[in-house]
């Protein structure tokens, strides 16, 4: 009896282990899954897993399943480097990360070093959201691929849109005091000076990241400056509180943002943001192809009707990875990385291309305005986490129009 | 002139909010001689309870129900957990409230998730109250100020004009004597702790919709309330009030000053604003460890 139980148990254990017995393509997901940015990190993970499941359901890639290994880096670069080691030990040859360019910079360095010292055991970095332009310019690496549009590409699109807005006369730059905020302030100033020399930059303010509770004092300054538009790279509560304080003080300026559409922000903006908050992004649910919308619906059905899969870049990264493997007939990172170069892929808004010169994905970019979603049904997809608000498309920049110049001198193995 | 007046108004508003946040902490400290590290967590609980009750019943009932619920939770925690820890001395107490803060944050994660909830200012309080030059002053901020000042007056009256206040103050310095006179001192402490965190809960109900109700909100205000309490003088309600206003005005004015600090490439007074309260705290601790109005060293 006992032996029989044991055999049964072993058999059961064996059958449980069997899916893992087959060869796997392991992708380590190194992002915050707890703390301040935990929700954002979790959303990225869901999208990555969703993309992998779709591919696995169709039989995987080259007969192997794609497996995502979630690893919580608590938004720390130090932690991420330890996790990278452990991911490599677990047999992951691909890593995905997106939240925080500071983390991405550390990972790019570490991957470069690892690949140099361990030929034949290379690792490829799939970056789905870290937007520091440096990664595809001076700091570019053969092992790094960016699937999101970088912050300069988004700013180019945004400032081109602003160029056509004749009512813009005075612009205030308002950003968080860290690398990304500095980058936005610097580029926005340069681009606006080039495209609209008549526009005055009346303020350039940096505030501490995620520390300010009441933005009223800053708003008082913006009002005193007479600005009609504010350009901000703020995200999370730093953006929601800023817009709220502006509404309270009756500031009649428009906000040109990067992250008004992402998790947690639309509910926080609410009425304060209507017709006043613009967003530049690679995401526009209502303009997506029917096939893509069917996929959004499947995602929403699986997770939550109000969740947006707006990290399409995460989905691109997995789909293009599988495509490159099929083309290279191999899961070896060096061959796959070569196959990724110049790879074209059909996205929800048309074709996207992984540019070989700097490994930047060239893709369409949208500018939208936060609006009330009435009458109900006018917008098939509302903004993330809310039913009453949506984004109205203001401008679309086709992929070809968004391709930036690059200073990258790629060193290939 | 315009910026000056707007900044002054903003500073006073922010200061009064700080007072709302820290009055409960001061109360608990002056009565029980303990620093409650989880104080800001009760502020967060108040915001979430306020959100739930206001969506079900309405905002005004929430103003009463949510702080009461927070107070009851606080009293239960004091009765069944903190009291045991207290018996083992101050370190055990501190560690307990420290752990409690993490626990509450996790509970909030489990129940409401990790993203902000849509907790809105009620329509009746939404809108401009008056216009100062070109900026409007919202009704809701006026309401916040009113509640904050009301809190100060009510607390002051309770402690100095009522029998209960008399017993509480006596229990603070001569617990044995109060006990000998037939009062249940542990129960008084339970009431004080419950009352103190209920005040934090009330601040949460009012602050949660003015700002953003999300799981990180406790951590965001956790440190500043300690600054207020230390600068004002540990255990002094009046001191906390003065310190709140001083810090609020100091920070707001600092933000408005774009003066470049000589010797640094791009450092302005405005960028230093968030550091100033902490700088003030350090200076106070060096020059006057009791704080502005404190009566004791510890």
Supply the DSSP string of A281-310, one letter for each residue. Answer: ES--GGGS-HHHHHHHHHHHHHS-TT----
With CA atoms as reference, the chain B residue closest to A219 would be B135
Range of lowest pLDDT (A153-157, B36-40, B134-138): B134-138
Strands A170-176 and A365-372: unpaired
Taking the CA atoms of A118, A123, A127 and A133 in sequence, report the sign of the dihedral they define. Answer: positive
Decide if A298 touches B, using CB distance below 8 A: no
The answer to whether the CB atoms of A217 and B255 lie below 8 A apart is yes
Q: Does one domain contain both A253 and A380? A: yes
Among the partner residues B214, B251, B256, nearest to A221 by beta-carbon distance:
B256
Residue A263 has pLDDT above 90, yes or no: no
The gap between the terminal CA atoms of chain B, to the nearest Å, is 42
- DSSP 8-state symbol, A134: G
**Band of residue B297 on the pLDDT scale cut at 50, 70, 90:** low
Decide if A208 touches B, using CB distance below 8 A: yes
Predicted local confidence at residue B296, as pLDDT: 60
The answer to whether the CB atoms of B13 and A212 lie below 8 A apart is no
A177, A245, A248, best to mutate vs chain B, most B CBs in 10 Å:
A248
Predicted local confidence at residue B66, as pLDDT: 98
Decide if A201 touches B, using CB distance below 8 A: no
Residue A131 has pLDDT above 80, yes or no: yes
Residue B31 has pLDDT above 50, yes or no: yes
Predicted local confidence at residue A15, as pLDDT: 44
Decide if A240 touches B, using CB distance below 8 A: yes
- DSSP 8-state symbol, A139: T
Segment B270-283, tens digit of pLDDT:
888 888 999 999 99
Q: Does one domain contain both A200 and A251? A: yes
Residue A300, domain member (yes or no): no
Residue A96 has pLDDT above 50, yes or no: yes
Decide if A226 touches B, using CB distance below 8 A: no
The answer to whether the CB atoms of A218 and B255 lie below 8 A apart is yes
A41, A217, A222, A247, best to mutate vs chain B, most B CBs in 10 Å:
A217
Residue A407 has pLDDT above 70, yes or no: yes
Q: Does one domain contain both A210 and A75? A: no
A37, A44, A176, A268, best to mutate vs chain B, most B CBs in 10 Å:
A268
Residue A72, domain member (yes or no): yes
Full domain range(s) for residue A119: 24-149+307-362
- Residue whose structure tokens are 């130090």: A78
Range of lowest pLDDT (A11-20, A62-71, B157-166, B200-209): A11-20
Strands A365-372 and A389-397: antiparallel
Q: Between chain A and chain B, how many beta carbons pairs sit less than 8 Å apart?
A: 103
Among the partner residues B11, B115, B221, nearest to A385 by beta-carbon distance:
B115
Paired strand residues for B130? B137
| Residues A306/A307/A313/A315 CA torsion (nearest 10 deg) | -110
Q: Does one domain contain both A255 and A168? A: yes
Q: Does one domain contain both A172 and A318? A: no
Identify all chain B residues contacting A178, using CB atoms and an 8 Å cutoff.
none
B142, B143, B216, B218, best to mutate vs chain A, most A CBs in 10 Å:
B216
Predicted local confidence at residue A35, as pLDDT: 67
Rounded CA gap, B34 and B26, in Å?
A: 10
Helix (H) or strand (E) holding A329, with range, is none
Residue A222, domain member (yes or no): yes
Predicted local confidence at residue B32, as pLDDT: 81
Picking from A331, A346, A362, the residue at the C-terminal end of a domain is: A362
Distances (CA, A) of A279 to A149, A230, A273, A315, A346: 14, 12, 11, 21, 24
The answer to whether the CB atoms of B14 and A216 lie below 8 A apart is yes
Task: Write down the mean pLDDT value for chain B.
Answer: 91
The answer to whether the CB atoms of B6 and A177 lie below 8 A apart is no
Q: Does one domain contain both A356 and A388? A: no
CATH number of the domain where residue A384 is located: 3.40.50.2300
Residue A10 has pLDDT above 70, yes or no: no
The answer to whether the CB atoms of B251 and A217 lie below 8 A apart is yes
pTM summary value: 0.85
Predicted local confidence at residue A117, as pLDDT: 96
Sheet holding A361-362, edge to edge: A344-347, A350-354, A361-362
**Band of residue A210 on the pLDDT scale cut at 50, 70, 90:** confident
Among the partner residues A207, A223, A264, nearest to B116 by beta-carbon distance:
A264
Decide if A410 touches B, using CB distance below 8 A: no
Among the partner residues B134, B212, B251, nearest to A240 by beta-carbon distance:
B212
Predicted local confidence at residue B142, as pLDDT: 94
Q: Does one domain contain both A140 and A247? A: no
The answer to whether the CB atoms of A217 and B141 lie below 8 A apart is no
Report the largest interatomic distance among the alpha carbons of chain B, rounded to a whole angstrom.
67
Q: How many domains does chain A have?
A: 2
Q: Does one domain contain both A349 and A375? A: no
The answer to whether the CB atoms of A208 and B131 lie below 8 A apart is no
Predicted local confidence at residue B298, as pLDDT: 47
Closest to A213 (Cα-Cα) out of A190, A233, A238: A238
Residue B56 has pLDDT above 90, yes or no: yes
Q: Does one domain contain both A203 and A167? A: yes
Task: Write down the mean pLDDT value for chain A.
Answer: 92
Distance from CA of B172 to the nearest CA of A (A): 34
Rounded CA gap, A394 and A280, in Å?
A: 10
Rounded CA gap, B166 and B143, in Å?
A: 30
Residue B269: is it exposed, middle or buried by C-beta count within 10 angstroms (0-12/13-18/19+)? middle
Predicted local confidence at residue A4, as pLDDT: 55
Range of lowest pLDDT (A3-17, A204-218, B116-130, B262-276): A3-17
List alpha helices for A196-332, DSSP H.
216-225, 237-249, 265-269, 290-302, 312-328
Residue A301, domain member (yes or no): no
A169 and A228 Cβ atoms separated by less than 8 Å = yes
Predicted local confidence at residue A21, as pLDDT: 44
Rounded CA gap, B221 and B160, in Å?
A: 29
Range of lowest pLDDT (A115-129, B109-123, B246-260): B109-123
Selected residue with higher pLDDT from A12 and A129: A129
Identify all chain B residues contacting A270, using CB atoms and an 8 Å cutoff.
118, 120
Identify all chain B residues contacting A38, using CB atoms and an 8 Å cutoff.
114
Tell me the domains of chain B and their CATH numbers: 1-287 (1.10.3470)
Residue A91, domain member (yes or no): yes
Q: Does one domain contain both A271 and A373? A: yes
Identify all chain A residues contacting B211, using CB atoms and an 8 Å cutoff.
213-214, 237, 241, 244
Residue A101, domain member (yes or no): yes
Q: Does one domain contain both A336 and A259? A: no
Among the partner residues B11, B141, B219, nearest to A248 by beta-carbon distance:
B141
With CA atoms as reference, the chain A residue closest to B134 would be A223
Residue B115 has pLDDT above 80, yes or no: no
Residue A230, domain member (yes or no): yes
Predicted local confidence at residue B171, as pLDDT: 82
Range of lowest pLDDT (A37-46, A370-379, B136-145): A37-46
Residue A142 has pLDDT above 70, yes or no: yes
Selected residue with higher pLDDT from A185 and B127: A185
**Cα angle A313-A360-A321, degrees, rounded to a multiple of 5:** 55
Decide if A91 touches B, using CB distance below 8 A: no
Predicted local confidence at residue A337, as pLDDT: 98
Report the largest interatomic distance among the alpha carbons of chain A, rounded to a whole angstrom.
89
Residue A19 has pLDDT above 60, yes or no: no
Phi, psi at B294, each rounded to 5°? -65, 150
Q: Does one domain contain both A88 and A218? A: no
Distances (CA, A) of B255 to A251, A399, B10, B248: 18, 41, 11, 11
Decide if A177 touches B, using CB distance below 8 A: yes
Decide if A220 touches B, using CB distance below 8 A: yes
**Band of residue A291 on the pLDDT scale cut at 50, 70, 90:** very high
Decide if B247 touches A, using CB distance below 8 A: no
Rounded CA gap, B86 and B93, in Å?
A: 5
Residue A6, domain member (yes or no): no
């Amino acid at each position: 009896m006992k032996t029989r139980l044991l055999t049964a148990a072993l058999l059961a254990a064996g059958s449980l282990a069997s899916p893992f017995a087959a060869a796997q393509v392991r992708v380590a997901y190194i992002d915050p899954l707890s703390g301040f940015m935990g929700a954002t990190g979790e959303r990225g993970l869901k999208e990555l897993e969703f993309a992998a499941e779709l591919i696995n359901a169709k039989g995987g890639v080259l007969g192997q399943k794609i497996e995502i290994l979630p690893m919580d880096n608590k938004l720390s670069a130090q932690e991420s480097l330890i996790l990278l080691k452990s991911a490599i030990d677990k047999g992951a040859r691909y890593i995905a990360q997106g939240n925080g360019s500071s983390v991405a910079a550390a990972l790019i360095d570490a991957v470069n070093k690892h690949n140099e010292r361990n030929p034949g055991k290379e690792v490829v970095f799939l970056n789905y959201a870290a937007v520091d332009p440096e990664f595809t310019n001076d700091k570019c690496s053969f092992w790094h691929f960016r699937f999101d549009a970088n912050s300069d590409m988004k700013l180019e699109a945004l400032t081109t849109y602003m160029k056509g807005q004749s009512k813009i006369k005075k612009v205030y730059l308002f950003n968080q005091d860290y690398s990304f905020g500095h980058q936005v302030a610097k580029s926005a100033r340069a681009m606006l000076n080039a495209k609209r020399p008549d526009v005055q930059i009346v303020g350039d303010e940096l505030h501490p990241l995620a520390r300010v509770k009441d933005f009223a004092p800053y708003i008082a300054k913006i009002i005193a400056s007479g600005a009609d538009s504010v350009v901000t790279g703020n995200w999370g509560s730093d953006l929601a509180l800023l817009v709220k304080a502006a509404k309270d003080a009756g500031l009649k300026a428009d906000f040109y943002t990067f992250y008004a559409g992402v998790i947690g922000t639309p509910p926080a903006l609410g009425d304060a943001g209507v017709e006043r908050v613009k967003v530049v992004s690679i995401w526009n649910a209502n303009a997506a192809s029917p096939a893509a919308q069917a996929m959004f619906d499947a995602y929403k059905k699986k997770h939550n009707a109000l969740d947006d899969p707006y990290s399409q870049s995460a989905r691109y990264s997995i789909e293009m990875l599988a495509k490159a493997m099929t083309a290279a007939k191999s899961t070896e990172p060096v061959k796959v990385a070569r196959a990724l170069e110049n790879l074209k892929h059909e996205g929800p808004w048309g074709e996207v291309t992984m540019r070989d010169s700097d490994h930047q994905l060239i893709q369409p970019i949208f500018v939208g305005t936060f609006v009330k979603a009435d009458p109900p049904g006018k917008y098939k997809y509302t903004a993330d986490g809310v039913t009453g608000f949506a984004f109205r498309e203001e401008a679309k920049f086709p992929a070809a129009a968004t391709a930036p110049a690059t200073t990258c001198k790629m060193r290939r193995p | 002139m315009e910026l000056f007046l707007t900044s002054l108004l903003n500073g006073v508003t922010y200061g009064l909010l700080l007072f709302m946040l820290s009055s409960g902490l001061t109360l608990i400290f002056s009565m029980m001689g303990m620093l409650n590290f989880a104080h800001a967590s009760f502020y967060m609980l108040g915001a979430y309870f306020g959100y739930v009750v206001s969506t079900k019943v309405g905002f005004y009932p929430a103003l009463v129900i949510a702080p009461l619920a927070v107070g009851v939770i606080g009293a239960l925690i004091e009765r069944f957990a903190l009291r045991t820890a207290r018996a083992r001395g101050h370190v055990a107490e501190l560690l307990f409230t420290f752990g409690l803060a993490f626990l509450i944050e996790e509970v909030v994660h489990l129940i409401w998730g990790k993203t902000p909830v849509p907790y809105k200012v009620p329509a009746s309080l939404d809108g401009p109250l008056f216009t100062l030059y070109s900026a409007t002053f919202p009704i809701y901020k006026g309401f916040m100020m009113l509640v904050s000042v009301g809190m100060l007056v009510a607390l002051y009256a309770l402690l100095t004009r009522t029998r209960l206040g008399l017993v509480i103050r006596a229990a603070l310095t001569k617990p044995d004597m109060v006990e000998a006179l037939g009062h249940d001192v542990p129960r008084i402490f339970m009431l004080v702790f419950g009352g103190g965190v209920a005040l934090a809960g009330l601040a949460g109900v009012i602050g949660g919709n003015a700002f953003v109700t999300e799981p990180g909100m406790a951590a965001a205000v956790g440190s500043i309330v300690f600054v207020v309490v230390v600068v004002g003088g540990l255990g002094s309600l009046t001191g906390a009030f003065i310190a709140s206003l001083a810090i609020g005005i100091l920070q707001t004015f600092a933000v408005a000053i774009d003066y470049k600090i000589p010797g640094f490439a791009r450092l302005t007074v405005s960028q230093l604003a968030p550091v100033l309260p902490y700088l003030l705290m350090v200076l106070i601790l060096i020059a006057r460890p009791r704080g502005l109005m404190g009566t004791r060293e510890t």
